[in-house]
Amino acid sequence: MYESDAKINIPVKQIDESRQGEPFQRKEDRPFDASGLYYIESYGCQMNFSDSEIVASILSDAGMHHTTDYHAADVILINTCAIRDNAEQRVRNRLAQFQALKKEKRNLTIGVLGCMAERLKKKLLEEEKIVDVVAGPDAYRDLPKLLATADEGQKAINTLLSREETYGDISPVRLQSNGVSAFISIMRGCDNMCSFCVVPFTRGRERSRQPDSIVSEARALFEAGYREVTLLGQNVDSYLWFGGGAKKDFGKLSAEEQGRAIRFADLLALVAEVSPELRIRFSTSNPQDMTRDVIETMARYENICNYIHLPVQSGSSRMLKKMNRGYSREEYLEKIGMIRSIIPDCGISSDIIAGFCSESEEDHRLTLSIMEEVKYDMNYMFYYSERPGTLAARKYEDDVPLEVKKRRLSEIIELQQKHSLEHNRQDAGKTFKVLVEGLSKKSREELAGRNDQNKMIVFRGSLSEYPAGSYVNVKVDDCSSATLMGHIVSK
Ligand code: 5AD
Ligand code: SF4
């Protein structure tokens, strides 16, 4: 079985804001020595936010300083999302604002990172001439060089995708951190090829990160006071490390390789062993790959949270086939049954797409009915947005009218709100162990934190008595569809 041999040290890096607010220096006075101020803004999934922390680490190591004030920055970076058209539009609007700033500040460098960089490549740089630097998700180590190239007045681009890059040795700088919860990226890319999804094209092939570096990062975070880590991957259930580099299919390993392989359930256990006081979460699980041993490992460790994000996308087997999801409605429901039989109180959330190509009213009703069967605690709901280059864009017609997509989506949202409220009402009178994250958004006399099932709970209390990172037992008195309200019963 697994033996840890590599001595990997991943220290926790905090933001250096020491140069915040310094007056902007024109580059004419100061040649590019990589000691400027950078500002970074992130859009899209948790993985993108986590990637920005890797970028921050690379730039800090190159001597640059982070600022939260983009007016003060020498370099503005936008870590972009391409998953739906409206995500891209938001980024484009923001880019237009930064462009206006560039008119006043000639030497400002603007860079586009992430999935849009990968998708639009030269268009942004050459045709539209709106940015100076373009770096795809696997090109972040190259950023100091790209910025230096841009500083010399040349356009700088690297959108090469890698089969190996995991940034496993890089200690992320924790941006916007509450000091309690942090993301740990455990793998990159996706090989699933869902027909609607642009991610396999923008983030490339799936590869897993070396487990020692993951455990080491979790340990360092715990020692720095963090009490919750979320293990991130596009498809965590296919995490696989067997010491010989990342290879996708466990079944194709030799018996000897299988014997020493680390799969996701093993990794979960390794991270859970860091400390019983460290909560473990993970995202995203995929129904076709999720195995029983993952759920059993969750049940075995109290500190692995009883919460699974298991996107269904549609309740119609016909749609699921067309989406290339690799499971039917019945198979999905079997997985839900398996989860509930092992962890009866497991929180379950999902992603749903309304109005995928050729979706009929009957298909839509099947989505509503699977929601009724599962009764999700939470759902992320979207209407289908065709992404250029995907299998669906090439093969299927985007033929559900926008008004129909929107109407179906609003029916889905309405049903989810009803279910969330029902779930939350069932929690009234129950007591949960809550990890204090900080003050609530609405009042300085209230604290906020999450329970095991990822539900936000607000309760009276002060940080001096219950500091961020401490655990308290809270009894629920009241709720809305989004939040539970309660009072502390004990530490
Ligand atoms: N249109 C709408 N939603 C999409 N998603 C992914 N691609 C698309 C698309 N083209 C949703 C899926 C996925 C989530 C991250 O985003 O539900 O699980
Ligand atoms: Fe996209 Fe499917 Fe991969 Fe998720 S599993 S990132 S939806 S291709």
Tell me the CATH number at 118.
3.40.50.12160
Residue 63 to residue 61: CA distance in whole angstroms: 5
Q: Are residues 415 and 440 in the same domain?
A: no
Q: Is residue 194 within 6 Å of ligand 2 at its C-beta?
A: yes
Pocket test for ligand 1, best of 43, 84, 201, 409 (most atoms within 8 A of CB): 84
**H-run or E-run covering 65:** strand 65-66
Say if ligand 2 is within 6 A of residue 355 CB. Answer: no
**CATH code (residue 441):** 2.40.50.140
In a domain, 50, yes or no: yes
Sheet holding 109-114, edge to edge: 65-66, 37-42, 75-80, 109-114, 133-135, 156-158
In a domain? residue 216: yes
pTM higher than 0.85 for the full model? yes
Q: What is the pLDDT of residues 164-223, one digit of tens each?
A: 999 999 999 998 788 999 999 999 999 999 999 999 999 999 999 999 999 999 999 999
What average pLDDT does the segment 22-48 reach?
68
Q: Which atom of ligand 1 is nearest to the CA of 83?
A: 7
Q: What's the pLDDT at 49?
A: 94
Do the strands 133-135 and 109-114 form a parallel or antiparallel pair, or are they unpaired?
parallel
Give the model's pLDDT for residue 4.
41
Cα separation values, 443 from 175, 247, 448, Å: 24, 50, 10
What single letter denotes the amino acid at residue 299? A
pLDDT at 153: 82
pLDDT at residue 391, as a whole number: 97
Q: Tokens standing for 92? A: 């484009």
Q: Work out the mean pLDDT of the chain and round it to a whole number.
A: 90
The model's pLDDT over 354-378, given as tens digits with 9 standing for 90+, comes to: 999 999 999 999 999 999 999 999 9
Question: The tokens of 438 are what?
Answer: 């900080």
Residues 191 and 283 in one domain: yes
CA–CA distances in Å: residue 244 to residues 30, 134, 252:
46, 32, 13
Q: What is the pLDDT of residues 434-460, one digit of tens each?
A: 999 999 998 889 999 999 999 999 999
Is residue 270 assigned to a domain?
Answer: yes
Does residue 404 share a domain with residue 273? yes
- Domain termination site, one of 369, 388, 419: 419
Q: Which of 419, 453, 471 is the last residue of a domain?
A: 419
**Number of CB atoms found within 10 A of residue 373's CB:** 12
From ligand 1's centre to the CA of 353, what distance in Å? 7
Tokens of 69: 């004030």
Q: Say if 426 falls within a structural domain.
A: no
Q: Give strand pairing partners of 109.
A: 75
Name the strand (E) or helix (H) holding 309. Answer: strand 307-309
The finding on whether 83 has its CB within 6 A of some atom of ligand 1 is yes
Statement to judge: residues 264 and 313 lie in one domain: yes
* Cα-Cα end-to-end distance for the chain: 39
Q: Which residue, by CA, sits nearest to atom 2 of ligand 2?
A: 194
Identify whether 401 is part of a domain.
Answer: yes
Specify the residue with its C-alpha closest to ligand 1, atom 18: 351
Ligand number, closest to the Cα atom of 235: 2
CB 240 within 8 A of CB 186: no
Tell me what pLDDT residue 247 has: 57
Answer yes or no: do 399 and 439 share one domain: no
Q: Which of 20-24, 99-103, 129-133, 313-317 is modeled with the greatest confidence? A: 313-317
Does residue 457 fall inside a structural domain?
yes
Q: Residue 226 is part of a domain; what is its CATH number?
A: 3.80.30.20
One domain, residues 414 and 449: no
Candidate of 197, 285, 289, 327 to mutate for ligand 2, largest count of ligand atoms within 8 Å of Cβ: 197
276 and 128 within one domain: no
Neighbouring CB atoms inside 10 A of 85's CB total: 12
**Ligand 2: residue whose CA is nearest its atom 5:** 192
Give the mutation target among 118, 194, 319 for probing the ligand 2 site: most ligand atoms within 8 A of CB. Answer: 194
Which residues, at least 6 apart from 272, have a Cβ–Cβ distance to it below 8 Å?
278, 280, 297, 301, 303, 304
Check whether residue 198 and residue 290 sit in a common domain. yes
Q: Which residue has the higher pLDDT, 13 or 218?
A: 218
Question: How many of the other CB atoms lie within 10 Å of CB of 483?
Answer: 16
234: Cβ below 6 Å to ligand 2?
yes
- Same-domain pairing of 383 and 435: no
- Can you tell me the distance from the alpha carbon of 32 to that of 150, in angstroms, rounded to the nearest whole number? 10
pLDDT confidence tier of residue 2, bands split at 50, 70 and 90:
very low
Q: What residues form DSSP beta bridges with 450? A: 435, 456
Helix then strand count (H, E) for the chain reads 15, 21
Mind listing the pLDDT tens digit for each residue in 399-438? 999 999 999 999 999 999 999 999 999 999 999 999 999 9
Q: Are residues 412 and 439 in the same domain?
A: no
Asked if residue 200 has its Cβ within 6 Å of ligand 2, the reply is: yes
**Residue 420: enclosing H or E segment and its boundaries?**
helix 402-426
Distance of CA 324 to the CA centre of its chain: 22
Q: Which residues contact 321 (CB under 8 A, 6 or more apart)?
A: 328
Structure tokens at 272: 């859970």
Check if the beta carbon of residue 276 is closer than 8 Å to that of residue 302: yes
Residue 175: which residues within 8 A CB-CB, separation 6 or more? 15, 40, 49, 52, 53, 56, 66
159-185 b/e (C-beta count within 10 Å ≥ 16 → b)? bebbeebbbbebbbbbbebebbbbbbb
Lowest mean pLDDT among 4-13, 55-64, 154-163, 296-305: 4-13
Q: Which residues contact 384 (CB under 8 A, 6 or more apart)?
A: 196, 353, 354, 355, 356, 357, 359, 398, 400, 405
What gap in Å lies between CA 175 and CA 468, rounded to an integer?
17
User: How many structural domains is the chain composed of?
Assistant: 3
| CA 461 – CA 467 distance, rounded (Å) | 10
pLDDT beyond 50 at 114: yes
- For CA atoms 261, 265, 267, 271, the dihedral sign is negative
Nearest to 44 by CA among 181, 157, 198, 158: 198
In a domain, 9, yes or no: no
Integer Cα distance of 11 and 60 in angstroms:
14
Average pLDDT score over residue span 132-156: 92
- 115 Cα–ligand 2 center, Å: 13
Is there a contact between 110 and 133 (Cβ–Cβ < 8 Å)?
Answer: yes
* H or E element in which residue 370 lies: helix 361-374
Q: Is residue 364 domain-resident?
A: yes
Spatial separation of the C-alpha atoms in residues 459 and 346, rounded to whole Å: 23
pLDDT at 104: 86
Classify the phi-psi angles of 324: left when phi > 0, otherwise alpha if psi is within -120 to 50, otherwise beta: left
The reply to whether ligand 1 has any atom less than 6 angstroms from the CB of 293 is no
Residues 272 and 384 in one domain: yes
Question: Are residues 232 and 331 located together in one domain of the fold?
Answer: yes
Grouping H, G, I as helix, E, B as strand and the rest as coil, residue 373 is helix
The residue segments making up the domain with residue 448 are 431-489
Q: What pLDDT sits at residue 252?
A: 82
For the residues 84-111, what does the mean pLDDT come to? Answer: 91
Cα gap 308→187, rounded to integer Å: 18
Q: Region 338-357: what's the mean pLDDT?
A: 97
Contacts for 411 with CB less than 8 Å, ≥ 6 apart:
364, 368
| Confidence band for 9, pLDDT divided at 50, 70 and 90 | low
- Count the neighbouring beta carbons within 10 Å of the beta carbon of residue 277: 12
Q: Could you give the CA distance from residue 139 to residue 146 in angstroms, rounded to a whole number?
A: 10
Query: Which ligand is nearest to the Cα of residue 351, counting in written order?
Result: 1
Instruction: Give the angle 4-10-11 at the CA atoms, nearest 5°.
Output: 140
